[in-house]
């Protein structure tokens, strides 16, 4: 049996004495069949099609398609290609069509704000080649980048500013740094393809937002070789899960996305032949009542209203820091970059001020899986704190499909049109005179960006505070580090202090209820004493 399978099985078998035997055997069965059991049956070095030479990435793709004839058409239907949510899977109450479906290309965020008019920079993480403007042909099968996900050499990297292409010639990066990035050896990479690994997925998902750990908080380079303390599932010496163990992929369609969340998986354990498409959830392996032992009944009652991640990811960014605040209004004020004592950039001349944090406690919200995103062109409103909530979750304590979920809340200061109240789509990147990073002129950047997005611009730009939410689902801590009861069920510093639409024992109290309760206790005690006294007196009377 393959060595990668032995470790997880040994780990699971050691647990047999602690949990229900049937459940454990079922878990072994599920994990066994979800792990890569065999090495590839093909030596790609032997294929004539892959002996090159190749001038570009699309040339490699054309060679791949000679054998994998359906691969590109499958990728064309995936979120990795079109950056759009499938309207059939999107559960918001918003009216969603294929044309206005939310996705990376039309959602406003508070990192680099929008893909539009900055495509050539943002699409360095697109699963394709050449998306630099509206002219990109999404139907061209040769434009699919096979190597980004299937490279096993670790030497294939897309160049940050070349619209998804790697550099075919040696090039300096970062600009003016004197550091030369060598050209990618396309033949070598094409001859060494295989199943995706954590490094393939992490090349984009660990570095979203412009750097390591910037965006998500629970995804960064520390997950390349995590230990048990950082993630019990991805622990390199334990289960050593790849991303695909949970994010199962069939015909290039990958399960699980923060954009299409399953907040409450009612399908239970997902075994072969019983797939409900819910494998990217805790319940798909652990069931809805996973706790065993003395406190199992009470803990399992919690899973009805509390997501597993809420207790089992008490903090995120536990090794590397994550960015928690970004002030775009100060960009261009200085030419000097500033770093903290650990090397994290706290001021970037092109991007403004940052704040970073390690061991971040999530913030908690009711969530039923439905989300309203702010799209390009939408009018926004400020909340009672004067901030614009770019992501609005749906669900409350009375909603049977809602549970309490943990989130990273990103807080930023970003530009908005003071008249139309639309968030600005700024033209940040480019060599033209209107690009903000060339001349630091917000008015020019806003005018150019909004025109490219087909939106009006009044010429009156203001900076507003904004928030954006990311569900926390990775970096699952060992069971002994999960939240204990008191961290929520206490009057002071409760983790759930902001959730006020429910009664939480230990945290909440009602004076009239407390008074009534104590009165009942006193009346009961008085009744017992009176009854006892009556029995004593009556007994004494009989003796006389």
Instruction: Write the pLDDT tens digit of every residue in 152-164.
Output: 999 999 999 999 9
Query: Residue 176: CB partners within 8 Å, gap ≥ 6?
Result: none
Mean pLDDT, rounded, for 527-541: 87
162/143 Cα distance (integer angstroms) = 14
Residue 340: alpha-carbon gap to chain centroid: 26
Q: Is the residue at 299 inside a domain? A: yes
> H or E element: which one contains 128?
none
Q: Is the residue at 135 inside a domain? A: no
Q: Is the residue at 355 inside a domain? A: yes
346/348 Cα distance (integer angstroms) = 7
Q: Is the residue at 500 inside a domain? A: no
- Please give the DSSP secondary-structure letter assigned to residue 158: B
Tally of domains within the chain: 1
Does 194 have pLDDT greater than 80? yes
- Residue with tokens 């706790």, as numbered in its chain: 291
- Please give the DSSP secondary-structure letter assigned to residue 483: P
pLDDT value for 299:
94
Q: Number of helices (H) and strands (E), helices first, in the chain?
A: 16, 14
Q: Which is nearest to 139 in space by CA: 77, 67, 201, 226?
A: 77
Question: What's the pLDDT tens digit per position in 39-97?
Answer: 678 899 999 999 999 999 999 999 999 999 999 999 999 999 999 876 555 555 555 66
CA-based torsion, 223, 257, 376, 132: positive or negative: positive
Query: Residue 78: CB partners within 8 Å, gap ≥ 6?
Result: 127, 252, 253, 254
159/177 Cα distance (integer angstroms) = 15
8 Å CB contact between 389 and 465: no
pLDDT value for 150:
97
Does 358 have pLDDT greater than 80? yes
What is the reported pTM? 0.86
Range of the domain at 316: 84-125+195-483
The three-state secondary structure class of 520 is: helix
Q: Is the residue at 398 inside a domain? A: yes
Query: What percentage of the chain reaches a pLDDT higher than 70?
Result: 88
pLDDT value for 94:
56
- Within a 10 A sphere around the Cβ of 96, how many other Cβ atoms? 17
More confident residue, 150 or 93: 150
8 Å CB contact between 349 and 332: yes
pLDDT value for 339:
97
Q: How many alpha carbons fall within 13 Å on the CB side of residue 239?
A: 26
- Within a 10 A sphere around the Cβ of 292, how many other Cβ atoms? 14
Q: Is the residue at 514 inside a domain? A: no
CA-based torsion, 15, 20, 25, 30: positive or negative: negative
8 Å CB contact between 313 and 307: no
260/473 Cα distance (integer angstroms) = 13
pLDDT value for 280:
85
Question: What's the pLDDT tens digit per position in 418-440?
Answer: 999 999 999 999 989 999 999 99
Question: What's the pLDDT tens digit per position in 328-337?
Answer: 999 999 999 9
Question: What's the pLDDT tens digit per position in 260-282?
Answer: 888 998 888 877 666 555 578 99
Mean pLDDT, rounded, for 470-483: 97
Mean pLDDT, rounded, for 389-417: 97
8 Å CB contact between 325 and 412: yes
> H or E element: which one contains 163?
none
The values of phi and psi at residue 278, to 5°, are: -115, 25
217/410 Cα distance (integer angstroms) = 10
H helices present in 389-510, as ranges: 436-439, 442-452
8 Å CB contact between 221 and 206: yes
Query: What percentage of the chain reaches a pLDDT higher than 90?
Result: 74
Query: Residue 216: CB partners within 8 Å, gap ≥ 6?
Result: 205, 208, 322, 408, 470, 474
Mean pLDDT, rounded, for 246-265: 88
Q: Is the residue at 113 inside a domain? A: yes
413/407 Cα distance (integer angstroms) = 19
CA-based torsion, 432, 433, 437, 438: positive or negative: positive
* Mean pLDDT estimate for the chain: 89
The three-state secondary structure class of 199 is: helix
Residues in the chain: 544
Question: What's the pLDDT tens digit per position in 86-141?
Answer: 655 555 555 566 667 888 889 999 999 999 999 999 999 999 999 999 999 999 99
Query: Residue 353: CB partners within 8 Å, gap ≥ 6?
Result: 325, 326, 327, 330, 346, 347
Q: Is the residue at 382 inside a domain? A: yes
Does 537 have pLDDT greater than 50? yes
Residue 262: alpha-carbon gap to chain centroid: 13
8 Å CB contact between 466 and 388: yes
The three-state secondary structure class of 77 is: coil
Residue 325: alpha-carbon gap to chain centroid: 17
Q: Which is nearest to 73 in space by CA: 82, 63, 84, 86?
A: 82
């Amino acid at each position: 049996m393959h060595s990668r399978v032995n470790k997880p099985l040994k780990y699971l078998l050691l647990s047999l004495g602690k949990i229900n035997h049937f459940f454990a055997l079922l878990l072994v069965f599920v994990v066994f069949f979800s792990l890569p059991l065999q090495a590839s049956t093909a030596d790609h070095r032997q294929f004539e099609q892959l002996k090159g030479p190749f001038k570009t990435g699309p040339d490699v793709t054309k060679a791949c398609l000679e054998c994998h004839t359906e691969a590109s058409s499958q990728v064309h239907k995936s979120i990795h290609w079109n950056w759009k949510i499938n309207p059939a899977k999107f559960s918001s109450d918003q009216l969603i069509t294929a044309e206005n479906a939310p996705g990376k290309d039309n959602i406003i965020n508070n990192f680099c704000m929008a893909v539009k008019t900055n495509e050539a920079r943002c699409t360095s993480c697109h699963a394709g080649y050449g998306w630099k403007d509206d002219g990109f042909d999404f139907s061209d099968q040769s434009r699919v980048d096979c190597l980004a996900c299937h490279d096993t050499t670790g030497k294939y990297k897309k160049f940050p500013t070349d619209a998804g292409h790697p550099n075919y010639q040696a090039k300096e990066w970062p600009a003016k740094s004197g550091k030369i990035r060598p050209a990618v050896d396309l033949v070598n990479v094409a001859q060494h393809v295989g199943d995706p690994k954590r490094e393939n997925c992490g090349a984009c998902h660990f570095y979203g937002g412009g750097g390591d750990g910037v965006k998500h908080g629970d995804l960064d380079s520390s997950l390349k070789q995590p230990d048990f303390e950082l993630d019990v599932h991805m622990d390199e010496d334990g289960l050593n899960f790849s991303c695909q163990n949970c994010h199962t992929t069939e015909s290039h369609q990958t399960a699980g996305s923060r954009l299409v969340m399953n907040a409450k998986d009612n399908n239970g354990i997902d075994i072969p032949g019983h797939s409900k498409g819910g494998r990217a959830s805790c319940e798909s392996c652990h069931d809805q009542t996973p706790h065993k032992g003395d406190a199992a009944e009470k803990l399992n009652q919690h899973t009805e209203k509390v997501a597993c991640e809420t207790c089992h990811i008490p903090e995120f960014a536990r090794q590397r820091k994550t960015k928690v605040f970004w002030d775009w209004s100060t960009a261009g004020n200085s030419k000097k970059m500033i770093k903290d004592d650990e090397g994290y950039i706290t001021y970037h001349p092109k991007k403004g001020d940052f704040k970073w944090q390690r061991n971040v406690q999530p913030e908690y919200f009711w969530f039923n899986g439905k989300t309203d995103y702010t799209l390009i062109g939408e009018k926004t409103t400020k909340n009672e704190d004067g901030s614009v909530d770019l992501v609005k979750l749906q669900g409350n304590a009375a909603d049977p499909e809602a549970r309490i979920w943990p989130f990273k809340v990103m807080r930023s200061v970003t530009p908005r049109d003071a008249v139309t109240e639309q968030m600005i789509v700024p033209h940040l990147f480019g060599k033209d005179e209107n690009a903000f990073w060339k001349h630091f002129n917000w008015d020019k950047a806003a005018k150019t960006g909004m025109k490219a997005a087909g939106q009006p611009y009044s010429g009156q730009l203001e900076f507003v505070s904004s928030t954006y939410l990311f569900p926390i689902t990775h970096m699952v801590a060992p069971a002994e580090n999960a939240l204990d009861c008191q961290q929520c069920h206490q009057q002071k510093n409760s983790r759930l202090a902001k959730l006020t639409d429910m009664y939480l024992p230990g945290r909440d109290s009602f004076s009239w209820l407390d008074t009534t309760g104590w009165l009942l206790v006193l009346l009961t005690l008085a009744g017992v004493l009176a009854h006892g006294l009556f029995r004593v007196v009556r007994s004494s009377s009989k003796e006389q």
